[in-house]
């Protein structure tokens, strides 16, 4: 049989040879691919292949930070060097077995170290912090922003206002002091900055706003007036650190955080801080304000406000025309619904402060004065019925007690030593009388007394 002019077997043979060569060629290519795949590492695939990300374009380093520099960044940069960590070391615990000649693991060991914050207010090394940060400390140190740790001395402190002033020796290197601002014109909602040492994390910066002004805070021991409230995070260790405005100026000293929840921080206004620090640095104590008003102990409940029982002679209240029988509705902008409320507010008044007293029929403005030492002495004799004298710089000794006085009725005797009035330690007549500057009628006075080598407490109502 012919096909296309060729014999069929010859054509088949030629095609078979061609197919055979093609198969061998394909087999060789397949084997090459298999061999290459076997020798290559097996890729690990965990998901879609990542998209290529282009690197950020190179920018001018001199321009990049400026674009992100906000007023808060500037304020922190200026103020952070003035913020210090305060380390207060408590006295070592006494050995309860010392009288047996035994030792324990605490012998010769330092006491517990408490951490707080502070702010330098004067380049001579004056630091402001909270009184509770350094209360009872045997040794105080401050750690500066540059890492230096220096010993500090307690210049003065006041428990009622919870403020203390320390001083360290800056040496040859200059230190940065914070710029003092004002708290009289603060605005609710304005941005504030807190810097401190929470949980030992030095120079921690938090921000927030002023949530409220003139807050009253009640604790188990006393009432604190006129706090700044902020939602800037304030934690243990922040106490004593600065609260700043957006310009980096000091507007308050961070003091506490509300136990009821986060976001309620409290700070002492700087206007109050300035007056207290001035007294502590110059006098070693805070002069209590005196306006000369004694409220009625048992006012008529039908009245709105506090009736005045007595106006002291030559007092700011008398000079302003206030008389016994007037009714006080508000003091320094705060309502006075009771005699207790009035006394608590009066305790917070500072010498030189201008206050407005709202009476039932008019408003009266006066300048708070300092109680004259002679006046305080006469007040103690008249209401307390006692005269004292020095006792070797460690206490005062009772030298005279008026018959039928509050002191006599409470059991105080001539020759008793008085070591403490309320929370204040007494070392001489000046410290004894200054302790009475903050006492008001209706208060219970607690005295620490020593008689015949035995110490005990006496409680006396001050009429």
pLDDT tens, 391-421?
A: 877 889 999 888 878 888 888 899 999 998 8
**133-178 residue pLDDT tens:** 998 888 999 999 999 999 999 999 888 789 999 999 988 788 999 9
What is the per-residue pLDDT for 3?
Answer: 35
pLDDT digits (tens, 9 = 90+) for 291-304: 989 888 766 677 78
SS3 67: helix
Q: What is the mean pLDDT of the chain?
A: 80
Read off the pLDDT band of 114 (50, 70, 90). Answer: confident
The three-state (H, E, C) secondary structure of 406-418, written as one string:
HHHHHCCCCCCEE
Q: Which two tokens stand for residue 139?
A: 């040794």
Catalytic residues: 132, 162, 239
**Which of the two residues, 251 and 460, has the higher pLDDT score?**
251
Domains and CATH numbers, the chain: 70-94+110-168 (2.40.10.10), 179-283 (2.40.10.10), 289-370 (2.30.42.10), 373-461 (2.30.42.10)
Phi-psi region of 68 (alpha: psi -120 to 50; beta: other; left: phi over 0): alpha
- The whole-number average pLDDT for the span 183-188 is 94
What per-residue confidence (pLDDT) applies to 365? 95
Band (pLDDT 50/70/90 cuts) for residue 78 is very high
Q: What average pLDDT score do residues 271-287 get?
A: 88
DSSP letters, 390-410, are: EETTTEEEEEEE-TT-HHHHH
**Which of 418, 417, 414, 419 shows the shortest CA–CA distance to 399?**
414
Q: Residue 369 is inside which H or E element, if any?
A: strand 369-370
- Which residues, 6+ apart, have CB-to-CB distance to 167 below 8 Å? 124, 125, 126, 127, 152, 153, 155
């Amino acid at each position: 049989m012919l096909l296309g002019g060729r014999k069929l077997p010859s054509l088949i043979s030629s095609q078979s040879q061609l197919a055979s060569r093609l198969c061998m060629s394909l087999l060789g290519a397949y084997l090459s691919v298999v061999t290459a795949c076997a020798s290559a590492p097996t890729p690990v695939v965990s998901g879609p292949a990542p998209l290529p990300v282009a690197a950020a374009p190179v920018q001018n380093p001199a321009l990049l930070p400026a674009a992100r520099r906000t007023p808060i960044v500037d304020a922190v940069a200026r103020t952070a060097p003035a913020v210090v960590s305060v380390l207060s070391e408590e006295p070592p615990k006494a050995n309860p077995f010392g009288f047996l000649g035994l030792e324990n693991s605490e012998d010769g060991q330092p006491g517990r170290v408490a951490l707080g914050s502070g702010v330098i207010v004067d380049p001579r090394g004056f630091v402001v912090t909270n009184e509770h940060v350094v209360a009872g400390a045997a040794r105080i140190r401050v750690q500066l922003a540059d890492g230096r740790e220096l010993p500090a001395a307690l210049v003065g402190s006041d428990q009622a206002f919870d403020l203390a002033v320390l001083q360290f020796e800056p040496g040859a290197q200059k230190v940065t002091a914070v710029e003092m601002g004002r708290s009289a014109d603060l605005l609710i909602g304005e941005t504030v900055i807190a810097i401190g040492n929470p949980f030992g994390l030095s120079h921690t910066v938090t921000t927030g706003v002023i949530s409220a002004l003139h807050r009253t805070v009640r604790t188990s021991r006393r009432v604190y007036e006129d706090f700044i409230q902020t939602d800037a995070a304030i934690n243990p260790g922040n106490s004593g650190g600065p609260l700043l405005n957006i310009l980096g100026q000091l507007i308050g000293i961070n003091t506490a955080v509300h136990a009821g929840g986060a976001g309620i921080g409290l700070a002492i206004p700087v206007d109050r801080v300035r007056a207290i620090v001035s007294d502590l640095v110059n006098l070693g104590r805070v002069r209590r304000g005196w306006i000369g008003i004694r409220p009625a102990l048992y006012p008529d409940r039908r009245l709105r406000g506090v009736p005045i029982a007595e106006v002291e002679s030559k007092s700011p209240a008398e000079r302003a025309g206030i008389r016994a029988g007037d009714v006080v509705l508000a003091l320094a902008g705060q309502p006075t619904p009771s005699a207790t409320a009035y006394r608590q507010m009066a305790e917070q008044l500072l010498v030189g402060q201008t206050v407005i007293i709202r009476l039932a029929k008019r408003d009266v403005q006066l300048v708070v004065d300092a109680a004259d030492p002679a006046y305080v002495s006469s007040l103690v004799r008249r209401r307390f019925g006692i005269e004292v004298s020095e006792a070797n710089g460690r206490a005062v000794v009772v030298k005279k007690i008026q018959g039928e006085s509050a002191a006599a009725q409470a059991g105080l005797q001539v020759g008793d030593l008085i070591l403490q009035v309320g929370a204040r330690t007494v070392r001489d007549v000046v410290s004894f009388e200054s302790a009475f500057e903050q006492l008001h009628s209706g208060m219970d006075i607690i005295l620490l007394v020593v008689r015949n080598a035995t110490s005990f407490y006496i409680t006396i109502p001050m009429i």
